[in-house]
Structure 1
Amino acid sequence: MLSPRAPSAHILAYAQTLNGGGVEHALMRLMRGWIALGRRVTLVVGDISGPLADELPRGIDVIVLGDARYTGMVCVAEIVEQIAPDLIFCPGNHYTAVAAWIRLRLGAACPPIVAKVSNALDRRDQGWLLSPAYRVWLNWHRHFVDHLVAMTPAMRDEAIRTTGIDPSQMSVIANPPVRRADGPAMTLPLPTGRFLLGVGRLAPQKRWDRLIASFARLADRDASLMILGEGAERGALEAQVAALGLGGRVTMPGHVADPTFAIERATALALTSDFEGVPGVLREALAVGTPVVSTDSSVAVREIVASPALGSVVAPDDSAGLVAALDHWLAPQQPRPAPVPPPGADSAAAYLDLFDQVVLARRVRRQAPRRSRPASRLAPSCVPARP
C-alpha cells in the first residue's frame, strides 16, 4: 500500500550563487536532509559555478538561470508558476525581496512561503537614513511570508519585535550541524605555533580589516593569523596586511570546503563582523573545544558563547576590548573549553513537520466559507499572475 502524499511533498528553494556563504551552506545541509526523508526538492540558482556546487545533494532537481545578478532572480516566480511546488523556502534575509516578488507576481496562486531569518534584523550598522526604510521593509514581511523561522529564541523575539509578525507564525529551528567531509582530511599547511583563525567570506559585513588591525596590536608577536574564505575584499585586505608589515604572519589561502581541521587546531577562533545571524562557525569551534572571540554582532552570539569559559564577546566598536580578548586566549597554557555539542540534529525533519502544517493551514483557509461582499470592497493583497 502506497503511503499518502505529504502535504509539502515538493519543496522549491532558491539561491543567487553557490559561492560559499553561510546561508547557502546551511541550505545544502537542509536540502540533503529533506531528500533523505523522501521529499522532492527543486533548487533554482542563478549561477552554479561556485565552490558549493560539489555539495549539491544527490537527487535534487536543479534549474540554472544563467544569471548571477540578484535581478536575475525575478525569473523564479515564472518557474514557480510552471512547476507548481507545494511550498517555497526562502533561505535567508538576503532573499526575502525575491519572496515578495513571487507573492506579488503570482497572487492567490502563490504557494505558501516559509522564510528563515539568517541575519540580524536589528541592524546597528545602518545609518539614520537607511534604518527607518529598513524597518518599514521588515514590517512588510508579514504580508508576503506565511511563516518565519528563527534559529534561536533570541532571534525569534527580535523577529517578532521588528516585523510585527504574529507569534503563531514564528518557529525556532536550529541549522543542521556541519558534518565533516568524507575522505582524507585537508592538507592545507597550517601556521606553526599559536594562531588565530577566521572563517568566512571576505565581505564587508565580516570586517576582517578589524581583526587584522587588532592582530597588529597584540602583545604576542610570535602568533599567526589565518583567514579562510574568499570574496571581493581580498585586494583591500592584502593591501592592509602589507601596509602593517604582517606579510609573514597573516595568510589568506582562500575557501576550503571543510575548515574543521583548521578550527580544531587553532588556538582561538575570531569573528569580528558588524552583523550576523546565528554564526555557525562559533558553534563549529565550540563543538571541537576551540575558544572563540566574537563581536556582539547578533542577539544569538551570547546564546552561543554562554559562559566566559567558552570565549569572549566584545562590542564591535571596542577595539581595545578586542585586542585584550585576543591576547587573553592566545596566552600560553590558557585552558581550552570542553566541547559543546551543537543543536540541530533533527532540523530537516522539524522543517518538514512545519512545512506540512503550513500547507495544510493554507488549504483549510481556502476551504472555509466566506461571506459574500460587494466586488468593489475586495482588495487583493497581490497582483494576479499574467495569463
Structure 2
Amino acid sequence: MVRKYKLIFAINSLFGGGAERVISNLGNYFYKKGFDVTMVCLNEAKPAYHLEKGIKIISLVTNIRNQSFFFRLWYGGVTLFKLLFILIKEKPSCVISFMTSANIWMGLTCNILRTPYLVSERITPDYTVNQLNHFLRWLSARVYSKSKAIVVPSKGMVDGFRKNKSFSALSNFEVINNPVSQFSAACTERVYPRKFILSVGRLDHQKGFDLLIQAFKRLEMKDVDLLISGEGGERKNLEKQIKDLDLSDRVKLIGYQKNLQDYYRQAEMFVLSSRNEGYPNVLVEAMSLGCACVATDCEFGPSDIIENEENGLLVKANNIKYLSEAIKRTMSDPALKIKMSVNAQLINQTNSPENTFAKWEKLILTHV
C-alpha cells in the first residue's frame, strides 16, 4: 500500500494509562486508513496496548537521573537533537503530541523545522501547565499558540487553561471527547471468587484511591470486596493504608489487567474517586460495558459524561462521606442500578470510535 501522509504521534511513554490508550487507538486508526504512522516516546516505549505491526516505534530513552543544572541542560540539548534528527529523517506531514512535556519538546522541534503540529492535554491544567514555573509557562504558551490546535477532551478544560494569564488569549482550542475503547469479547469465567466493586487507574494521588478506601471502610459491607486495577508510585502508601484499616482481606490492588472487560462486566459497580481528571477513559469504558457508575464531580470530565441520576451518580469531589453514601445507595437500590447500567451503554453511540476519530482526521487533514 502506498501511504498518503506520514504522521508522528509523540508521548512520554506507551506504558498504560488513559492518554496512552487514546494515542495508541488513534495511531491504529490512521494506519488502517492508509497513513504512515510513527510513535515517538520520550521515555519508555514498550506499548501496553495493541499497535498495528506496521507502526514504527521510536524511543529516546533519555531519562533524567541527575537533577543538577548542567546535566539538565545537557539532557535538553540531547533531547532536542534527537527529535530534530527524527523529524528530518521521517519528514512527517504533521506531528500530534500528547501531554505537557512531549507537547513542549515536539512543539519546539516542529517550530525550528516549520512542521505542522497539534498538541493535546489530557488532564486538568491545574496539575500540568498551570504548575510550571514562570519561564516554562511562557514557553508552553508560545509553543501552544503556534500549534494548529490544542486538543482537549472536555469543555471545562478550555476554561481551566484560560484561568492562566499566559493562555488567556489563545483561541486555537478544539474539544474532541475520548472514544469508547474497543475490547475483545468478555469471558464467562469468574475473574474473582467474590462479589466486588471495581476502580481502575494509575496508582497516583490524583486518582483518589486513598479516599475510596476510606469510603469503602465506612460501608462495612461484608459480602463485597474492593478491587483496584493499576500500577504507580502510590502502591506502597495504599498498601499501608489498607493494612492500617484492617482491610487486607477485602481490598485488593490487582495491578494492571489486560482483560479489564471481564472485570467491568462482572463488577457490582464501578467507582471513579479522582481528585481531578481531563476526561476519564476508565469511566467511559465502564459505562460502555454496562457497569453502574459513581464518579466524583471533579475537574474535568465526569460532568460531561454522567447525567446525574440517569446514567450514573455524581458526588462532590474530595468528600469521603458523600462517596460512601453514593456507593451504598447504588448497591442497595436494584432499580436505580439497572437504570444507570442500561442508560450508561448509550455512550457507545455518543463516543463511538468512528465519530471521535473522524473528528481527529478532519482536524489533521485541514493542516497537512
Same fold by TM-score, threshold 0.5 exceeded?
yes
Q: Is residue 39 from structure 1 mapped to residue 35 from structure 2 by the alignment?
A: yes
Task: Report if aligned partners of 1:142, 1:164 keep a CA contact under 8 Å in 2.
Answer: no
- Cα distance between partner residues in 1 of 2:101 and 2:177: 18
The residue that corresponds to 1:65 in the other structure is: 60
- Cα distance between partner residues in 2 of 1:12 and 1:317: 38
Instruction: Select 1:345's aligned residue among 347, 353, 364.
Output: 353
- Counterpart amino acid of 2:279? V
Over the matched positions of the two proteins, sequence identity in percent amounts to: 24
Task: Report if aligned partners of 1:37, 1:349 keep a CA contact under 8 Å in 2.
Answer: no
Shift of 1:37: 0.6
Higher relative contact order (CA 8 A, sep 6+): 1
- Counterpart amino acid of 2:263? A
| C-alpha distance 25-300 of structure 1, shift in aligned 2 (>3 A) | same
Shift of 1:187: 5.8
Between Structure 1 and Structure 2, whose CA radius of gyration is higher? 1
Q: Is residue 357 from structure 1 mapped to residue 358 from structure 2 by the alignment?
A: no
- Cα distance between partner residues in 2 of 1:185 and 1:264: 9
| C-alpha distance 123-69 of structure 1, shift in aligned 2 (>3 A) | closer
Report 1:62-211 matches (<5 A).
62-68=57-63, 73-74=79-80, 75-103=82-110, 107=112, 109-123=113-127, 139-159=141-161, 162=164, 163-164=167-168, 166-167=170-171, 169-181=172-184, 185=187, 189-193=191-195, 195-211=196-212
Shift of 1:122: 4.2
Task: Report if aligned partners of 1:293, 1:326 keep a CA contact under 8 Å in 2.
Answer: yes
SS, match of residue 366 in structure 2: helix
- Cα distance between partner residues in 1 of 2:234 and 2:362: 40
- Cα distance between partner residues in 2 of 1:89 and 1:229: 26
Shift of 1:68: 4.8
SS, match of residue 114 in structure 1: strand
- Cα distance between partner residues in 2 of 1:84 and 1:165: 31
- Cα distance between partner residues in 1 of 2:155 and 2:318: 26
Alpha-carbon RMSD: 3.0
Q: Is residue 14 from structure 1 mapped to residue 23 from structure 2 by the alignment?
A: no
5+ residue gaps, structure 1:
360-387
| C-alpha distance 191-131 of structure 1, shift in aligned 2 (>3 A) | farther
| Count of aligned pairs between the two proteins | 345
State which drifts further: 79-88 or 63-72: 63-72
Q: TM-score by structure 1 length?
A: 0.79
| C-alpha distance 208-73 of structure 1, shift in aligned 2 (>3 A) | farther
- Cα distance between partner residues in 1 of 2:200 and 2:291: 13
Task: Report if aligned partners of 1:150, 1:171 keep a CA contact under 8 Å in 2.
Answer: yes
Task: Report if aligned partners of 2:218, 2:324 keep a CA contact under 8 Å in 1.
Answer: yes
The residue that corresponds to 1:375 in the other structure is: none
Report 1:249-288 matches (<5 A).
249-288=250-289
SS, match of residue 241 in structure 1: helix
| C-alpha distance 322-137 of structure 1, shift in aligned 2 (>3 A) | farther
The residue that corresponds to 1:374 in the other structure is: none
The residue that corresponds to 1:365 in the other structure is: none
Output one character per residue of 1:96-116: Cα deviation in whole Å (capped at 9) or x when no partner.
Answer: 23234324xx52x23111112
- Counterpart amino acid of 1:21? G
Task: Report if aligned partners of 1:151, 1:173 keep a CA contact under 8 Å in 2.
Answer: yes
Task: Report if aligned partners of 1:34, 1:349 keep a CA contact under 8 Å in 2.
Answer: no
State which drifts further: 131-140 or 202-211: 131-140
The residue that corresponds to 2:238 in the other structure is: 237
- Cα distance between partner residues in 1 of 2:188 and 2:12: 28
- Cα distance between partner residues in 2 of 1:19 and 1:186: 28
Instruction: Select 1:24's aligned residue among 5, 8, 20.
Output: 20
Shift of 1:341: 2.7
- Counterpart amino acid of 2:299? S
- Counterpart amino acid of 1:251? K
- Cα distance between partner residues in 2 of 1:220 and 1:188: 21
- Cα distance between partner residues in 2 of 1:228 and 1:316: 21
SS, match of residue 353 in structure 1: helix
- Cα distance between partner residues in 2 of 1:319 and 1:39: 47
- Cα distance between partner residues in 2 of 1:13 and 1:237: 34
Structure with higher helix content: 2
| C-alpha distance 15-289 of structure 1, shift in aligned 2 (>3 A) | same
Output one character per residue of 1:321-366: Cα deviation in whole Å (capped at 9) or x when no partner.
Answer: 111112111225353221223314223332222112123xxxxxxx
Shift of 1:28: 0.6
Task: Report if aligned partners of 1:10, 1:86 keep a CA contact under 8 Å in 2.
Answer: yes
Q: TM-score by structure 2 length?
A: 0.83
SS, match of residue 213 in structure 2: helix
